[in-house]
């Protein structure tokens, strides 16, 4: 039996099995990390041209969870908007589609409004508020039930619903966000939308305060 000291003396780096780590970045690039001379070496792994790589594990399961914000106001994903059983279950009559590249599925069954919005922080989400809010209000006035959806029902549609609540209920961004988050926990508007919603709150508060002197002036006459 070899002693520990003999094993140490017989040790050779050349006998070690070479190790490497394959990493897929968020952009889909595949790289290989190896150690050499006490340093890490990174090289890009060339992939066969069989389609585009993906920087994340794809979740192919359907997202049919619908957030009930109000009895007449729902929030969901494109999966829910394309499932007739789900739509019938929630008594949907109107569908506001703010996804990009998602077709409407049941024209004979529901009243649709489609607005293609990009889920990018620099997208001016506030510019879409008036026509979105008008459609939601029309559905409510007709005693309908409106589903607001984008692709994932996480960022764009959530921002629209939050903004609608801030406007119609005259509540803060924090309160509106909490209401929507409670109904659909997966929501996560992108950072640009959140900043714009906070600006939207500030503008509404400013307009409210501007009206106070006018009211006081009217009362004194």
Residue at 158 is within a domain: yes
202 shares its domain with 117: yes
72 and 181 in one domain? Answer: yes
**54 catalytically annotated:** no
Tell whether 34 is covered by a domain. yes
Q: Residue 10 domain-assigned? A: no
- Give the per-residue pLDDT at 205: 83
Residue at 151 is within a domain: yes
Q: Determine the pLDDT at residue 74.
A: 98
Question: Catalytic residue among 54, 132, 150, 188, which?
Answer: 150
Residues 113 and 172 in one domain: yes
pTM for this model (two decimals): 0.69
Question: Are 36 and 74 within one domain?
Answer: no
Asked whether residue 115 is domain-assigned, the answer is yes
Q: Per-block average pLDDT, block size 10, for the chain (221 residues)? A: 55 51 53 52 46 45 93 97 97 97 94 97 97 98 97 97 97 97 97 97 79 50 44
- 89 and 178 housed in the same domain: yes
On whether the CB atoms of residues 187 and 154 are closer than 8 A, the answer is: yes
Phi, psi of 117 (to 5 degrees): -120, 130
99, 170: one domain: yes
The whole-number pLDDT of residue 215 equals 45
**Number of compact structural domains in the chain:** 2
- Domain extent for 32: 18-47
Question: 59 lies in a domain?
Answer: no
**pLDDT number for residue 139:** 97
């Amino acid at each position: 039996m070899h002693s520990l000291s003999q094993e140490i003396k017989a040790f050779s780096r050349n006998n070690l099995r070479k190790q490497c780590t394959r990493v897929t970045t968020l952009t889909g690039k595949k790289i290989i990390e190896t150690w050499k001379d006490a340093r890490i070496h990174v090289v890009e792994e060339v992939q066969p041209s069989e389609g585009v790589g993906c920087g994340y594990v794809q979740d192919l399961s359907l997202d049919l969870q619908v957030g009930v914000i109000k009895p007449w106001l729902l929030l969901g994903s494109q999966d829910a908007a394309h499932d007739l059983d789900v739509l019938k279950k929630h008594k949907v009559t109107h569908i506001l589609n703010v996804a990009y590249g998602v077709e409407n599925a049941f024209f004979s069954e529901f009243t649709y409004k489609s607005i293609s919005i990009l889920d990018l922080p620099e997208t001016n989400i506030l510019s879409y508020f008036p026509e979105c809010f008008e459609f939601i209000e029309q559905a409510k006035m007709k005693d309908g039930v409106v589903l607001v959806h984008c692709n994932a029902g996480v960022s764009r549609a959530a921002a629209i619903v939050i903004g609608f609540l801030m406007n119609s209920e005259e509540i803060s961004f924090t309160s509106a966000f909490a209401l929507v988050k409670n109904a659909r926990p997966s929501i996560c508007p992108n950072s640009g939308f959140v900043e714009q919603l906070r600006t939207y709150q500030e503008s509404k508060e400013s307009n409210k305060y501007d009206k106070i002197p006018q009211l006081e002036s009217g009362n004194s006459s």
